[in-house]
Structure 1
Amino acid sequence: MEIQAIVEEIKEEMIRIRRHIHMHPELSHEEYETTKFVKEQLKDTTIEWQELGLETGAVGLMHGKAGDGPVLMLRADLDALPLMEESGVEFASEKPNVMHACGHDIHTTVLIGAAKVLDRTRDDWKGTIKFVFQPSEEKAGGAPELIEAGVLENPKPDHAVCLHTWPSTDAGKIGIRPGPMTAANDTFHVTVKGTGGHGAHPEKAVDPVPVAGDVVDLFQRIISRNLSPFDPAVITAGQIDGGTANNVIATDVNVSGTVRTLSQTTRDYIKKRMKEIAHHVAAASNAEAEVDFKGAGCPPVINDPHLVGQLEQSLKKHLGQENIDYLKEPSTGSEDFAYYLEQIPGMLFRLGTRNAEDSRTHLSLHNPGIVFDEKAIPTGIIAMSGFAVDYLNAVH
């Protein structure tokens, strides 16, 4: 049976599955019931679940009947956000302050649907598919934990693929682009240390407040004067804290923020320049400054150009040229799928969820009022399963 026909047959079931997941969201590292639900939906398929020793999430293998071939990893994320839903849909979250506002319920549903389709078409494809239902994307810890647990082994995937809902693209369409797709995300913390004193006698103190202001200002010069205008990056100071009283010169000031970059080279360079600027600006005022980047930070998603080309041809075949959205720009949001792509090539593509007649579908991801057009679900299943078959049967 053709992929489109199978998807049409299971479409209503997939919408019911999505609505169940949406009504019962779970936060990062708490996806116990979602994991059970995923496995229950796929109990009648030939998926072989692997034991990786993780409390939540699931990884399974499916083998084609057309012979040996490559290993393709398909990944979806399971977790929701700590938000009180304001969408107004009849299947809204039943959990206070927990909501699927980033579309992970749709990601999970699409991968369940793709597994059902691929199981019914096993005679038509060769090789192996590794299905990864990943926990904790929102805390950017799920992918590294799965890698540590061995998700990229036994067998090692040749390529990894995922999709992400996208309210800027119309439902029924798929957004693609080679190269940078999402940005690296690094959190910085600057501590400027001065010498406290009375506000009436600044000459007897070293005031860290203007030093911190100079540091934040000069960080922006990295973007405007140290980087090429064709190398986009963002440095945002989101928090500044210092001082205890209006007439007391503070002892120290703390500045925290985020850095977004689209290449590892630029990422490393900005970190280096931020440390240099903070140190020298502070020294010029007899103060001290330290810059700390908390944790490893999430790397950028860099799509493999050849794989994107294969996806483009597959989409033309299964959905039609008119349903491809050629994205001109990457996103400065981040996605922990990038950790997999540090070790194997792959790609992330966009699943359009916008409905021109429903302004709620135009809202940004992570907005408590966002609605996702469910027309996206069959589109995503066709795109994911169609690409998988075409990829696995291609000459490698």
Structure 2
Amino acid sequence: MPDYTASAKAAAEAATTALRGLGSIRDDLAGLYRDLHAHPELSFAEHRTAAEVARRAGELGYDVTTGVGRTGVVAVLANGPGPTVLLRADFDALPVRERTGLDYASTTEGVMHACGHDMHVTCLLGALGLLAEARSLWSGTVLGVFQPAEEIGQGARAMLDDGFYERFGTPDIVLGQHVAPFPAGMIGAHAGPAFAATDALKVVMYGRGAHGSRPEASVDPVVMAASTVLRLQTVVSREVPAGETAVVTVGALNAGTKDNIIPDEAELKLNIRTYKDEVRTKVLGAVERIVRGEAVVAGAEREPDITEIDSFPVLVNDADALARTMAAVGAVIGADKVIDPGPVTGSEDVGLFGTEAQVPVCYWLFGGVDAEEFGAAFAAGTRDRDIPSNHSPFFAPLVEPTLTTGVTALTTAALAWLGA
């Protein structure tokens, strides 16, 4: 692997100069973050968010295009010859009822920025502003990509299918980040398969309804579904080799309307995470076999329906690109603050921007938890209980130093790739 010490030093020097402007915009960015958090919008319905992003990016001097992939926004700043660097943030929220108690908590009932996409948007706008002000330090083109519908795995594909490369050019590098439940001020980056592939499935199991007092007249889909849930727990423990990684989660089971009615059907929703094609094939095959087998054992008169809800590919970080980027970021924030967390079982569709164009991707995590709280929970062995994770109704990144770290990382990463 090449030695990036010299290039990291140059990028760090440029970033240090560019970041001098952060102090004057930090309060405004914090206000923006709180506003976005209070007004979350679901996938492909991010109209208010997109309008605010477009307005702010336009005021920064970027050429802005809205409605890309339905609700996506692309901000372009061309600054002479040089590489094209794509910086991406997602901006959809989740159907989660917020329970943080924050004074800027969601004002939309049942919808919450429970994954930190509001922080991603704020950090990217901050980085775009600093890069615009520091145009004398770099040459090339910056593509600020604000992507919808990441949570349902459709946003990146929608933007690409909307002629992204033809309209905005092919990037030389794809850069992005995701806030995570570890200490604020830290960066986590892993080379190779870094985020798992996801397959989300809906399963409908069909029985025969009857009165609750006469179960012998039924084929009970509740029992059928319950047995299926239990049997699915054996897929990872008994069919996936111990050296491989897979996760099978049944996130929803719905059946029936009343205590004394045996229903006609039951619905399950499954989420599967894998890193390798052969493991994915094995797990999907096992899930289908178990679902159909349990229906046969139960005496079901109709086969189950198995349909795909959404799918994410494995996100693979290019090793050289990651080394080059993190060398620069570490030179600014401190090399001891850049760690390798190993592969995570979360999923991301940002990788499509790279794989479709066959260009490298570098995607990292940045912490959003108070360091002392995290340290105490870790020492007590209560991290999973006491530190809310992404998608939790209690998830809320610490505004600072999370915001400063995210803006710093994106700005420095961009300068590590733009021409001098």
- Normalising by structure 1, what TM-score? 0.84
Match of 2:405 among 370, 379, 388: 379
Given the superposition, is the C-alpha separation of residues 175 and 245 from structure 1 closer, same or farther in structure 2, using an over 3 Å criterion?
A: closer
Match of 1:309 among 323, 327, 350: 323
Deviation at 1:110, TM superposition (A): 0.7
Determine whether 1:75 maps to 2:100: no
CA distance in 2, matches of 1:200, 1:97: 39
Deviation at 1:61, TM superposition (A): 1.4
Task: Describe the superposition over 1:362-396 as per-residue Cα deviations: whole angstroms up to 9, x where unpaired.
Answer: 322233333322211121111111111112349xx
Determine whether 1:43 maps to 2:52: no
Moved more, 373-382 or 236-245: 236-245
Bigger fraction of residues in helix? 2
Verify the 8 A CA contact 2:295 2:304 in the aligned structure 1. no
Correspondences of 1:44-63 after superposition (within 5 Å): 44-50=59-65, 55-63=70-78
CA distance in 1, matches of 2:314, 2:197: 4
Counterpart residue number, 2:387 = 362
Given the superposition, is the C-alpha separation of residues 30 and 222 from structure 1 closer, same or farther in structure 2, using an over 3 Å criterion?
A: closer
Aligned amino acid, residue 181 of structure 1: A
Task: Describe the superposition over 1:288-340 as per-residue Cα deviations: whole angstroms up to 9, x where unpaired.
Answer: 6435132442223222222211222112222111211221341x233332443
Counterpart residue number, 2:100 = 87
Helix, strand or coil: the match of 1:370?
coil
Counterpart residue number, 2:8 = none
Q: Which runs of no fewer than 5 residues in structure 2 stay unpaired?
A: 1-13, 378-385
Verify the 8 A CA contact 1:298 1:338 in the aligned structure 2. no
Moved more, 254-263 or 45-54: 45-54
Aligned amino acid, residue 194 of structure 2: M
Count of residue pairs brought into register by the alignment: 389
Deviation at 1:16, TM superposition (A): 2.6
CA distance in 2, matches of 1:285, 1:23: 48
Task: Describe the superposition over 1:187-212 as per-residue Cα deviations: whole angstroms up to 9, x where unpaired.
Answer: 2234445677898796x987666665
Aligned amino acid, residue 313 of structure 2: P
Counterpart residue number, 2:150 = 137
Given the superposition, is the C-alpha separation of residues 172 and 255 from structure 1 closer, same or farther in structure 2, using an over 3 Å criterion?
A: closer
Aligned amino acid, residue 311 of structure 1: T
Verify the 8 A CA contact 2:194 2:342 in the aligned structure 1. no
Given the superposition, is the C-alpha separation of residues 22 and 192 from structure 1 closer, same or farther in structure 2, using an over 3 Å criterion?
A: closer
Given the superposition, is the C-alpha separation of residues 46 and 269 from structure 1 closer, same or farther in structure 2, using an over 3 Å criterion?
A: same
Counterpart residue number, 1:28 = 43
Given the superposition, is the C-alpha separation of residues 90 and 200 from structure 1 closer, same or farther in structure 2, using an over 3 Å criterion?
A: closer
Deviation at 1:213, TM superposition (A): 5.2
Match of 1:102 among 103, 111, 115: 115
Correspondences of 1:115-154 after superposition (within 5 Å): 115-154=128-167
Counterpart residue number, 1:235 = 248
Moved more, 148-157 or 245-254: 245-254
Correspondences of 1:157-172 after superposition (within 5 Å): 157-168=171-182, 170-172=183-185
Moved more, 8-17 or 377-386: 8-17
C-alpha RMSD over aligned residues: 3.3
CA distance in 2, matches of 1:126, 1:339: 25
CA distance in 1, matches of 2:239, 2:336: 40
CA distance in 2, matches of 1:99, 1:245: 31
Verify the 8 A CA contact 1:196 1:249 in the aligned structure 2. yes
Aligned amino acid, residue 71 of structure 2: T
CA distance in 2, matches of 1:114, 1:254: 44
Moved more, 82-91 or 231-240: 82-91
CA distance in 2, matches of 1:24, 1:242: 33
Aligned amino acid, residue 387 of structure 1: A
- Normalising by structure 2, what TM-score? 0.80
CA distance in 2, matches of 1:348, 1:42: 22
CA distance in 2, matches of 1:64, 1:75: 19
CA distance in 1, matches of 2:106, 2:208: 51
Task: Describe the superposition over 1:1-49 as per-residue Cα deviations: whole angstroms up to 9, x where unpaired.
Answer: 7133222343233223222323333333332222222232233433112
Counterpart residue number, 2:334 = 320
